[in-house]
Structure 1
Amino acid sequence: MVFIIKRRQKKEMKTIMQKYEIIRLKKEGWSDNRISKTFGVSRNTIRKYWKSYCSNLDELLKLDPNVDTRKVIETLIDDPSYDSSKRTARKYSEEMDIQLRKILADEENKTRLLGPGHKQALNDRQIYQLLINQGFDIGETTIRNRLRVIRDEKKEAFIKQKYDYCDRFEYDFGEVRLIIDGRNIKGYLAVLVCPASGFRWAYLYRNSKMDVFLDSHVRFFEMLGGSFKEGVYDNMKNVVARFIGKNEKQLNEQLIKLALYYDFTINVTNCFSGNEKGTVESAVKWIRNKVFAYKYAFDTFENACDYLQEKLVEINKNSNIEEEKKHLKPYRPRYETARITKNRVDKYSFVHIDNNCYSVPEDLCQKWVIAKLYPNDLIIMYKQEIVARHARIAGKGKTRIDIRHYLHTFSRKPGSLSNSLALKSEPELKNMFNKYYKEKPKVFIEILRRYSDSDLKTLLEALEPRQQEAKIQQAVDDKTMEQINELCEMFIGGNQYVH
Structure 2
Amino acid sequence: MLTMEQQKYIKKCCINKGESINSVAKKTGHHWSTIKKYVEKEDFNQPIKIRQKRTTKLDKVKPIIDQWLLEDKKAKPKQRHTAKRIYDRLCEEYADIFSASDRTVREYVSKRKKELYDDTEGYVPLNHPGGEAQVDFGEVEFFEKGTKISGFHLNISFPNSNAGYVQLFKGQNLECLLTGLQSIFKHMGKVPNKIWFDNLSPVVSKIEKQGKRKLTEGFERFALHYGFEHNFCNPNSGHEKGSVESKVGYYRRNFLVPIPRFDSIDEFNKKLFVKADEDMKRAHYKKDAYISKLFELERIMMRDLPKKDYEVYRLEKAKADAYGKVKLDKDYSYSISPAFSGKEVWLKITHSKVHILNEDYKTILSHNRLNGKNYESMDWVPYLVLMQKRPTALKYTSFYDDMPLDLKSYFEKCDREEKKVGLKVLSKLLLEMDLEKASEVFKLAEEKNLRDEDSLTAAYHRLTRGVLEIKDIKLSMNVPNLDPYITNNSEYDIFLKGGVQ
Q: Give TM-score scaled by structure 1 length.
A: 0.52
1:339 to 305, 314, 327: 314
Separation in structure 2 between the aligned mates of residue 331 and residue 232 of structure 1, nearest angstrom? 21
Distance apart, 1:207 and its partner CA: 4.2
Is 1:213 matched with 2:177?
A: yes
Give a deviation string over 1:142-175, Cα, whole Å, max 9, x none. xxxxxxxxx9xx886676x562xxx233211223
Structure 2 match to 1:410: 387
Q: Does 1:314 align with 2:288?
A: no
Where 1:444 maps in the other structure, the secondary structure is helix
Q: How does 1:84-163 map to 2 (within 5 A)?
A: 114=117, 163=130
Give the partner amino acid of 1:445.
L
Percent identity of equivalent pairs:
21
Partner residue of 1:400 out of 354, 374, 377: 377
Return the offset for 1:259: 0.7
Letter in 2 for 1:465: L
Paired residue for 1:454, among 432, 439, 442?
432
How far apart, CA to CA, are the structure 2 residues paired with 1:157 and 1:395?
38
2:410 corresponds to 1:431: no
2:461 to 454, 466, 471: 471
Work out which of the residue numbers 329, 334, 347 in structure 1 matches 2:304: 329
* Deviation, structure 1 residue 199: 4.5
Distance 1:226 1:420 in 2: 52
Instruction: Tell me the SS of whatever aligns to 1:343.
Output: strand
- Give unmatched runs, 5+ long, in structure 1: 1-110, 118-150, 480-499
The reply to whether residue 254 of structure 1 matches residue 204 of structure 2 is no
Distance in 2, Cα, partners of 1:388 & 1:262: 31
1:370 and 2:346 are equivalent in the alignment: yes
Give a deviation string over 1:403-430, Cα, whole Å, max 9, x none: 1112322222333324323343xx3x44
Instruction: Give runs of aligned pairs for residues 270-309 of structure 1, distance below 5 A.
Output: 274=238, 276-277=240-241, 279-295=243-259
1:389 correspondence with 2:366:
yes
Deviations 1:309-347 (A, max 9, x none): 645533432444899889761355543443322222233
Alignment of 1:420 onto 2:394: no
Alpha-carbon contact 1:359-1:405 (below 8 Å) kept: no
CA contact 1:436–1:465 (8 Å) conserved in 2: no
Letter matched to residue 231 of structure 2: N
| TM-score after normalising by structure 2 | 0.52
Residue type of the partner of 1:338? Y
Partner of 2:53: none
The letter for the 2-side match of 1:262 is: Y
Q: Secondary structure at the match of 1:447?
A: helix
Tell me the amino acid that sits aligned with residue 330 of structure 1: L
Q: Which amino acid aligns with 2:431?
A: D
Say if 2:389 and 2:420, in contact at 8 Å, map to a contact too: no
What number of residue pairs does the alignment pair up?
327
Residues 170 and 193, structure 1, Cα contact 8 Å, conserved in 2: yes
Aligned pair in 2 of structure 1 residues 452, 177: CA closer, same or farther (>3 Å)?
A: closer
> What residue identity is the alignment partner of 2:275?
E
- Residue 361 (structure 1) aligns with: 337
Alignment-derived partner of residue 323 in structure 2 = 348
Closer, same or farther: CA 178–248 of 1 in aligned 2, 3 Å: same
The CA deviation string for residues 37-91 of structure 1, in whole angstroms up to 9 with x for no partner, is: xxxxxxxxxxxxxxxxxxxxxxxxxxxxxxxxxxxxxxxxxxxxxxxxxxxxxxx
In 2, the alpha carbon distance for the partners of 1:306 and 1:228 equals: 25
Larger radius of gyration: 1
* Distance in 2 separating the partners of 1:114 and 1:423: 54
CA–CA separation in structure 1 for the residues paired with 2:197 and 2:169 = 19
Pairwise CA distance, 1:218: 3.1
2:40 equivalent in structure 1: none
Which residue is 1:486 aligned to?
none
Question: CA offsets, 1:419-445, max 9 Å, x none?
Answer: 323343xx3x44341244442434532
Change beyond 3 A, Cα 1:451–1:260? same
Question: Which residue of 1 is the match for residue 139 of structure 2?
Answer: 175
Instruction: Tell me how far apart the structure 1 counterparts of residues 393 and 337 of structure 2 sit (CA, whole Å).
Output: 17
Instruction: Report the Cα distance in structure 1 between the residues aligned to 2:123 and 2:303, rounded to whole angstroms.
Output: 37
Any idea what SS the aligned residue of 1:417 has? helix
Q: Distance in 2 between matches of 1:158 and 1:406?
A: 59
Structure-2 residue corresponding to 1:95: none
Q: Report the 3-state secondary structure (helix = DSSP H, G, I; strand = E; otherwise coil) of the residue aligned with 2:258.
A: coil
Once residues 422 and 276 of structure 2 are traced to their aligned partners in structure 1, the CA distance between those partners, rounded to angstroms, is 49
Offset of residue 222 of structure 1: 4.5
- Measure the CA separation in 2 of the matches of 1:241 and 1:414: 49
Amino acid at match of 1:317: E
Provide the secondary structure at the position in 2 that maps to 1:454: coil
User: Which residue identity does 1:359 align to in structure 2?
Assistant: S
Give the match's secondary structure for 2:304: coil
Task: Check the 8 A contact 1:215/1:375 in 2, yes or no.
Answer: yes
Which AA in structure 2 matches 1:441?
Answer: K
Q: CA 1:348–1:252 in 2, change beyond 3 Å: closer, same or farther?
A: closer
The 1:461/1:198 distance shift into structure 2, 3 A limit, reads: farther
**Contact kept in structure 2, 1:227 and 1:331, CA below 8 Å:** no
Check conservation: 2:165, 2:276, Cα contact below 8 A: no
| Shift in Å, 1:224 | 4.4
Distance (Å, rounded) in 2 between the aligned partners of 1:292 and 1:175: 11
1:15-54 maps to which residues of 2 (within 5 A)? none
Q: Indicate the RMSD between aligned Cα atoms, in angstroms.
A: 4.6
> Match for residue 9 of structure 2?
none
CA distance in 1, matches of 2:277, 2:186: 17
Distance 1:396 1:309 in 2: 27
Instruction: Name the CA shift for 1:421/1:157 in 2 (closer, same or farther; >3 Å).
Output: closer
- Tell whether the 8 Å contact from 2:207 to 2:214 is kept in structure 1 after alignment: yes
Partner residue, 1:125 = none
The separation in 1 between residues aligned to 2:404 and 2:270, in whole angstroms, is 34
Judged with a 3 Å threshold, the aligned counterparts in structure 2 of structure 1 residues 239 and 347 are, in CA distance, closer, same or farther, namely closer
What displacement does 1:380 show? 0.7
Structure 2 gap ranges (5+): 1-113, 281-291, 446-456, 471-501
Query: Which amino acid is the alignment partner of residue 417 of structure 1?
Result: L
